[in-house]
Amino acid sequence: MSQKRERELARARYERQQVRRAERAQNKRTRNFISAGIVLLVTFMVWAGNNSAKNDLAKPASTKSPAPSISASKQASGCSQIGSARPNNVSFASVDKDTVAGSTLTLSTNCGGIKIALNKNAPKTIQAMTFLANKKFFVGTICHRLTFSGIYVLQCGDPAGDGTGGPGFAFADENLPKATEGGSAVYKRGTVAMANSGPGTNGSQFFLVYEDSPLPPNYTVWGKITSGIEILDRVSTAGVQGGAADGRPVQSVGIISATVTP
């Protein structure tokens, strides 16, 4: 099989999985909407129904359950073992409009530190990521998806841990890469971009590119890895569970902390 055909097949698999994830996310949002409607009827809080549809940088909602702990026992890859991992269910209604975006995001993981220089050409995105980091939204979450055939990314930031979770708000795309003549764009090694389930559905999930990857130009580029990319190399070498080319990584990666600096 030619390398070009292999890339085309990889892109097709990636896009099919994005569609399936979008369907699961939509079903989850529908269930949440119905539950919220019942609560509103019981408590007569009709005014809250107007606010529920907003995505306008309002104040955050309250938090939920605590994050999982990560133990210090070493694995062969040089990563620490994640102990009693469970999803981080912290959720917010929207981004605080007063959040001041930083310039560097540092992810401390059980496999080491990853520094990301934030891209000022994606101001709404880096404001959202700064907000979530400051609120400790990412603490205890895992990187739930690894791909390494044609497309080479590690996907993180999902509080559900299965590709369906988000922060409770969504925001528009920005700083999209330019498409090539073939209709795709090359996301270079070290690129950090938002994962989504369609236009304007950015939330908290993002992916880290560890090798140049051709993808549709539909994903907001908001950062570049400046140190720690060798962690992704080690994780990718361990592969995907079950020997697949796309799925949960064999080497679990958990975020211990996420810190934004000016």
Banded model confidence at residue 2, pLDDT cuts 50, 70, 90 = low
Of the candidates 231, 233, 8, which has an alpha carbon nearest to the alpha carbon of residue 110? 231
Task: Report the pLDDT value the prediction gives residue 228, as an integer from 0 to 100.
Answer: 98
Rounded to whole angstroms, the Cα distance separating 153 from 23 reads: 22
> What is the structure's pLDDT at 72?
46
Reference 16, options 216, 206, 219, 239; nearest CA is 216
Residue 253 near residue 161, CB atoms below 8 Å = no
Count of residues in the chain = 262
Structure tokens at 182: 């073939």
Measured between alpha carbons, how far is 169 from 246 in angstroms, rounded to an integer? 27
What's the pLDDT tens digit per position in 53-69?
Answer: 222 222 222 333 334 44
Per the structure, the complete domain to which residue 20 belongs is given by: 3-261
Residue 75, C-beta contacts closer than 8 angstroms, at least 6 positions apart: 81, 251
CB atoms near residue 110 (< 10 Å): 25
What is the identity of the amino acid at 151? I
Say how far apart CA 176 and CA 121 lie, in whole Å. Answer: 10
| 230, 197 Cβ separation under 8 angstroms | no
Q: How many domains does the chain have?
A: 1
Output the six-digit token pair for 18.
């994005």
Measured distance CA(141)–CA(252) in Å, rounded: 11
213: enclosing H helix or E strand:
strand 213-215
For the stretch 235-257, pLDDT in tens is 999 999 999 999 999 999 999 99
Q: Where residue 136 sits, what CATH number does that domain have?
A: 2.40.100.10
Q: How far is residue 186's CA from residue 207's CA, in Å, rounded to a whole number?
A: 14
Q: What percentage of residues in the chain have a pLDDT greater than 70?
A: 69
- In angstroms, the CA 234 to CA 220 distance is 25
Q: Is the pLDDT of residue 39 over 80?
A: no
Q: What is the pLDDT of residues 121-175, one digit of tens each?
A: 999 999 999 999 999 999 999 999 999 889 999 999 999 999 999 999 999 999 9
Q: How many Å separate Cα 28 from the centre of its chain?
A: 17
Measured distance CA(145)–CA(54) in Å, rounded: 30
Q: 255, 139 in Cβ contact below 8 A?
A: yes
